[in-house]
Amino acid sequence: MVTLGAHTYEEIISQPRAWKQALEVTESLRGVIKNFWMDNSEKQVLFTGCGSTYYLSLVAAALVREIDGRGAYGVPAGELFLYPATTYDHLKPHILVAISRSGTTSETLAAVKHFQQAGRGPVLVVTNDGESPLAKRGDLTLAVPEGQEKSVAQTRSFASMLVAVTGFTALAAGKDDLFQDMFKLPESGSKVLEVSQPLAKSLGENFDLDSFYFLGSGIRYGLACEVNLKMKEMSLTHSESFYFMEFRHGPMSMVTDTSAVIGLLSTTQYQYEQAVLDHMKALGSNVFSLAESGADLNFSSGLAEAIRSVLFLPPLQLMAYYRAIAKGLDPDKPKNLSAVVELELG
């Protein structure tokens, strides 16, 4: 008998092992990473990917801006391929960071190929397949094979590549102490997984809720986009993602007693973000929060905000998983989707 979502569940709960490998791979390239960053010190950083890895690009760009102060931004690979002149300042040199679970996504490969042919700058590849066509195009490649998956929706792969990108950024910025602290993440992740199971199951299986709104700002906005995508992909549920403060400017008109507003809270701007959640609760919405402390689900990791963002993922991935199972859907094989999008792009 086939169990619905068996691969997805295993990939979610096993991901701390992939985080550990991501850190080990990054550490093994410590000197190479520092030299790569210094040799390209005048270049801005352009992150790209498709779907989940585009959202990872948003997180990564915010990380570089916050930790290193260098200009960085994330763009979809399809836009970079089709509209380079409107996507980035192509008259200036850049580092292109191409992120792909499989390393075979057509738009990402096309974007990298055109970037290289135009001589725009070096390419860093972040992937789970170090033998893929994309990996072989990188001037530097971070490959985390432990993050590879059998299911279509990205969970373990996304998180493993996020850890790799975060570690890369910390080392590149000379924050070696921050990088060393990241080796505490796998243990923290295992604890968060254990604690969050009942909460994730309860929320996911609650059919009194018919819409989910994920709020995150700063580094966490890209994560809010990603968990919103997981809810759509796995459970075919209406969900959207917003910056905290932006949610008040129109989107909160959708809040009802059957909606859930889920906040990915920071520590630095906690009071402002919590105020948004309090407002939504007063309007009748169901509110749930995640944070290092002072939330419905607390990480209690003791880690700096910049390096603990991956802890938001497992509980919300599980919530989407449990909702899919409760609806009789198979999160391993979401409707209309495949693990890799391969197109004839010429």
Q: DSSP string spanning 243-256?
A: -TGGGGTTGGGG--
What are the tokens at 275? 């105020």
Which residues in 222-233 are b (16+ Cβ under 10 Å) and which e?
Answer: bbbbbbbbbbbb
- The predicted structure's pLDDT at residue 130: 96
DSSP 3-state of 345 = coil
DSSP label of 58: H
**pLDDT truncated to tens, each residue of the chain (346 aa)?**
458 889 999 999 999 999 999 999 999 999 999 999 999 999 999 999 999 999 999 999 999 999 999 999 999 999 998 998 898 887 888 999 999 999 999 999 999 999 999 999 999 999 999 999 999 999 999 999 999 999 989 999 999 999 999 999 999 999 999 999 999 999 999 999 999 999 999 999 999 999 999 999 999 999 999 999 999 999 999 999 999 999 999 999 999 999 999 999 999 999 999 999 999 999 999 999 999 999 999 999 999 999 999 999 999 999 999 999 999 999 988 665 555 555 566 5
Please give the domain boundaries of the chain with CATH numbers for all domains.
6-183 (3.40.50.10490), 185-326 (3.40.50.10490)
- Cα torsion 234, 131, 95, 52 to 10°: value is 0
Residue 41 CA from chain centroid, whole number: 25
- The predicted structure's pLDDT at residue 337: 52
DSSP label of 260: E
User: How large is the greatest C-alpha to C-alpha distance in the chain, in angstroms?
Assistant: 57
Taking each continuous run of H as one helix and of E as one strand, the counts in the chain are 13, 10
Q: Cα–Cα distance between 40 and 18 in angstroms, integer?
A: 29
Residue keyed to tokens 């490969």: 109
- Cα torsion 138, 142, 145, 150 to 10°: value is -70
- The predicted structure's pLDDT at residue 344: 64
Instruction: Please tell me the pTM assigned to this model.
Output: 0.95
Query: Residue 127: enclosing H or E segment and its boundaries?
Result: strand 123-127
Residue type for position 140? L
How many beta carbons lie within 10 A of that of residue 345, not counting itself?
13
The backbone region for 336, taken as left when phi is positive above 0, alpha when psi lies in -120 to 50, beta otherwise, is left
- The predicted structure's pLDDT at residue 92: 86
How many beta carbons lie within 10 A of that of residue 75, not counting itself?
21
- The predicted structure's pLDDT at residue 3: 80
- The predicted structure's pLDDT at residue 120: 92
How many beta carbons lie within 10 A of that of residue 182, not counting itself?
26
CA end-to-end distance (rounded Å), the chain: 43
- The predicted structure's pLDDT at residue 1: 47
